[in-house]
Amino acid sequence: MTSPASSPRAPGCVSDLELDELLAGDLAEQPREAVLRAHVDGCARCRARLAAFSAVEPPPAATMLPRVVRAAATPRRVTRWRLAAALMTLGAAAALFAVRLRPRGEPGAGPEERTKGSLALVVFVKRPSGVVDIVTGGGTLHPGDEMRFGLAAARPGYAVVLGLDAAPSVTVYAPYAATGAAAPPIRLERAGTTTLPGSIIADATAGAERIVAVVCEAATAPEALRARALAALTAASGDPARVSSLGTGCLESSVLMRKEARPR
């Protein structure tokens, strides 16, 4: 099964792993890099192997990363993240918190999460205790919890995050406009992962709330998307859990949060 993906190693030649390390830059400025480079430069076979390796095209990040984020939320296990670095995305300065990946529901198909196209919404929920839950399928929200939003998008565009509750009402969560003035959608310069600026503090209103991220190719006014969301919510009899799509024609991904009183 020899192919560009594999290459029998001749005696004295560098291994596949070493070729991969060279290409990934793992050995930068290490003495071993110079040794391996010298061998490759003088070995036609290894040069050909290196060229074949570098020609391998992995799945594009733009399509893979949203899949990874959604798959990471499968309910197989709960992982406790101990890295403060992960919290830098939450603007948590140098504080050390435990971060929990809180899986709820099957990715992309369950009743709680609804995704159209290659977009994944992640909700970072910071509890008063300092623990941060990373929610991608659905989760629970208590009064005083602080939410921030992350997106893994397959393409650049303009992002808006909306909150649909059972009032029924729709609130623009991002972009955040402190003065109530109309704010433009948030520009995503490139495909990949982004943490949106600003945070939302949960109020004491109980019930379901669907948080929907929309990424459009063209800059679409948040107010226009809010109107679409309100129409969709009305069509669902005011039940956020029953809203499957806003019908925007853009990338959409949502998380269903259940707001309830904090356990005593």
Partner 1 sequence: MSGWHGLDRVYELHSRSVYRRALQLLGDAEEARDATQEVFVRVMRAGGAVPADPTPTAWLYRVTTNLCLNRLRDRTRQQGLLASKYTVDAEVRPAGETRAAVAQVLARVPEDLQDVAIYFFVDGLTYDEIAPLLGVSRRTVSNRLSAFRDLMARLFPETRSAS
Q: What's the distance, Cα to Cα, between the start and end of the chain in Å?
A: 61
Nearest CA to 232 out of 164, 174, 171, 173 is that of: 164
Least spacing, CB of residue 3 vs partner 1, in Å: 7
- Tell me phi and psi for residue 151, to 5 degrees: -125, 140
Q: Is residue 140 part of the contact set for partner 1 (CB under 8 A)? A: no
Q: Is residue 96 part of the contact set for partner 1 (CB under 8 A)? A: no
- Of positions 34, 35, 56, 235, contacts partner 1 by CB under 8 A: 56
Stretch that binds partner 1, among 4-12, 41-49, 179-187, 234-242 (CB under 8 A): 4-12
8 A C-beta contact, residue 157 and residue 250: yes
Cβ closer to partner 1: 64 or 221?
64
Least spacing, CB of residue 57 vs partner 1, in Å: 8
Distance CA 205, CA 174 (A): 20
Least spacing, CB of residue 71 vs partner 1, in Å: 5
**Which positions from 63 through 92 interact with partner 1, judged by CB under 8 A?**
64-65, 67-69, 71-72, 79, 81-83, 85-89
- Of positions 37, 53, 110, 221, contacts partner 1 by CB under 8 A: 53
Distance CA 213, CA 119 (A): 8
Q: Is residue 256 part of the contact set for partner 1 (CB under 8 A)? A: no
The owner of tokens 């560009």 is 4
What binding mask, one character per residue, do residues 188-207 give for partner 1 by CB under 8 A, x or -? Answer: ----xx-x------------
- The residues with which 209 forms a beta bridge, in sequence order, are 165, 257
Q: Where are the beta strands (DSSP E) in the chain?
A: 79-81, 99-102, 114-116, 119-126, 132-135, 138-141, 146-153, 157-165, 169-174, 186-188, 192-195, 200-201, 207-216, 251-259
8 A C-beta contact, residue 134 and residue 102: yes
Q: How far is CA 198 from the centre of its chain?
A: 16
- Of positions 48, 51, 54, 177, contacts partner 1 by CB under 8 A: 54
Stretch that binds partner 1, among 53-61, 170-178, 200-208, 228-236 (CB under 8 A): 53-61
- Of positions 108, 137, 139, 150, contacts partner 1 by CB under 8 A: 150
Q: Is residue 5 part of the contact set for partner 1 (CB under 8 A)? A: yes
Stretch that binds partner 1, among 1-9, 158-166, 215-223, 235-243 (CB under 8 A): 1-9
For residue 205, give the amino acid letter.
T
> Which sign does the torsion angle of CA 205, 210, 216, 221 carry?
negative
- The residues with which 187 forms a beta bridge, in sequence order, are 158
Which residues form the interface with partner 1 (CB under 8 A)? 1, 3-6, 8-9, 11, 15-17, 20-21, 23-27, 53-54, 56-59, 61, 64-65, 67-69, 71-72, 79, 81-83, 85-89, 99, 101, 122, 150, 192-193, 195
